[in-house]
């Protein structure tokens, strides 16, 4: 099951177009490709991530005169993808048993830190808290998973439980039963925009 929406892919493609128009003025830019790529070594990535980063790879391959700096740790990405198994367990507990154990969710999001983002001009292909030196691409309305990845460490216990229940609802009630991820995303945003806006406003996330 993929969690990358068409809107996110279109956002990345649009962002790459913007960077292309600025190539003549760019000296160095951090891009979300595995470090092995910039070192000329082959690397395998999960297919969902490869699809998201395909436009960025095209940018890297076409404009070799730019000093691209690949900043993704491929092992970190793999661990994040594999962690979805842990998320599935939490969603089942929340949906079937109505149980939200904040400590369990704390452990899940312990690896969701944004400390790995480089300091300096960088292209970020997924939802992240806005920063002056970042070219942000993707959807402008985040999913509860996106929000949690950004604010979990600073959220109150009450907000953590609130977010966890939104994540359970999004995955169990929308993603699992929708025709595709785009339909699930659009329906959830329509039905739960006020809840999303609460977190965006309270934690100062871009919207």
pLDDT at 77: 72
Domain boundaries, the chain: 6-202
Dist. CA 87–CA 164, nearest whole Å:
10
pTM of the model: 0.76
Distance CA 128, CA 179 (A): 27
Res 128: pLDDT: 59
Averages of pLDDT over each 10 residues, the chain, 207 residues: 73 88 86 89 81 90 90 74 75 93 90 59 66 67 85 93 96 91 93 95 81
Residue closest to 35 by CA, chosen among 71, 78, 63, 64: 71
Extract the tokens encoding 93.
């507990």
Phi-psi category of 204—alpha, beta or left, where left has phi over 0 and alpha has psi -120 to 50? left
pLDDT of residue 1: 42
Quickly count: other Cβ atoms within 10 Å of residue 91's Cβ.
Answer: 20
| pLDDT for position 59 | 92
The Cα angle at residue 192 between residues 186 and 153, in degrees rounded to 5: 105
Tell me, what's the pLDDT at 138?
67
**Element spanning 68, H or E:** strand 67-72
């Amino acid at each position: 099951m993929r969690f990358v929406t068409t809107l996110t892919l279109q956002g990345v493609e649009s962002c790459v177009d913007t960077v292309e128009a600025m190539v003549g003025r760019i000296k160095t830019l951090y891009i979300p490709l595995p470090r092995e790529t910039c070192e000329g070594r082959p690397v395998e990535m999960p297919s969902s991530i490869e699809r998201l980063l395909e436009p960025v790879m095209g940018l890297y391959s076409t404009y070799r005169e730019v000093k691209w700096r690949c900043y993704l740790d491929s092992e970190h990405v793999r661990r994040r993808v594999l962690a979805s198994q842990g998320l599935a367990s939490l969603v089942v507990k929340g949906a079937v048993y109505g149980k939200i154990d904040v400590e369990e969710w704390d452990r899940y999001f312990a690896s969701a830190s944004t400390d790995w983002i480089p300091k300096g001009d960088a292209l970020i292909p997924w939802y992240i808290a806005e920063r002056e030196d970042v070219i942000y691409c993707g959807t402008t309305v985040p999913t509860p998973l996106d929000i949690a990845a950004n604010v979990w460490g600073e959220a109150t216990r009450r907000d953590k439980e609130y977010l966890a229940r939104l994540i359970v609802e999004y995955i169990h009630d929308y993603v699992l039963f929708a025709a595709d991820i785009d339909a699930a995303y659009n329906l959830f945003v329509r039905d739960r925009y006020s809840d999303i806006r609460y977190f965006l406003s309270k934690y100062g996330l871009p919207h």
